[in-house]
Amino acid sequence: MSTIQEIQKEIIEDFAMFDDWIQKYEYLIDLGKELSPIDEKYKTEDNLIRGCQSRVWLHAEHTDGKIIYTADSDAIMSKGIVAILINVLSGQAPSEIATAKLDFINKIGLKEQLSPTRANGLVSMIKQMKLYALAFNN
């Protein structure tokens, strides 16, 4: 399993190949489509992430010292964004996740490419993922 840092580096390299926003968006849309489905029973009100204009559900499980995240959204772009975060963080140890510096976001132009409300959604997603990590770490 690669480290969070290694995965981020790969993502930055992937995005560096794109010339324009269309390719970046299409990549996000594809990631969204490919995201493994969440168990329907976890699409609850409690698992909704606040601060997103679309509905984003996030579920976390702690097994063998690692956190496995699953997620879904009714908007495909949000699904793409949460998919990237899952690629980076899912399967890592809680302590790693809690302290992870997610600098790939600025380096792939995600923050600037995405509208402020979307960026807010992103911030809320990261916050929620880290909250799970902190909870499982204790």
Partner 1 sequence: MLDISKIRKQFPILSRKVNGQDLVYFDNGATTQKPQAVIDSESNYYQNENSNVHRGVHFLSGLATDKFEETRNTIQAFIGAKHSHEIIFTKGTTDSINLVANGFRTLFKKGDEIIITELEHHSNIVPWQMCCEQSEATLKVIPLLDNGELDMNEFNNLLSESTKLVAVSHISNALGTINDIEEIIEKSHKIGAKVLIDGAQAASHVSINMQELNADFYCFSSHKMFGPTGVGVLYGKEEILNELSPYQGGGEMIKEVSFSGTTYAELPHKFEAGTPNIAGVIAFKSAIDFITNLGVETIAKYEDELLQYVTSEILKIEGVKIYGTAKNKSAILSFNIEGLHPYDIGMIVDKMGIAIRTGHHCAQPIMEKFNIPGTARISLAIYNTKEEIDLCINAIKKAKLMLS
Report, in Å, the least distance between residue 86 CB and partner 1: 19
The yes-or-no answer on residue 52 being catalytic is yes
Task: Find the shortest distance in angstroms from Cβ 34 to partner 1.
Answer: 15
Residue numbers of the site for partner 1 (CB under 8 A)?
21-22, 25-26, 29, 53-55, 74-78, 114-115, 118
Which is closer to partner 1, CB of 2 or CB of 23?
23
Q: Is the dihedral of CA 26, 29, 33, 36 positive or negative?
A: positive
Q: How far is the CB of 13 from partner 1 (least distance, A)?
A: 23
d(CA 79, CA 69): 13
DSSP 118: H
Q: Locate all alpha helices (DSSP H) within the chain, ordered by sequence.
A: 4-16, 21-34, 76-89, 94-99, 104-107, 110-113, 116-137
Q: Which of 4, 28, 52, 58 is catalytic?
A: 52
Active-site positions read: 52
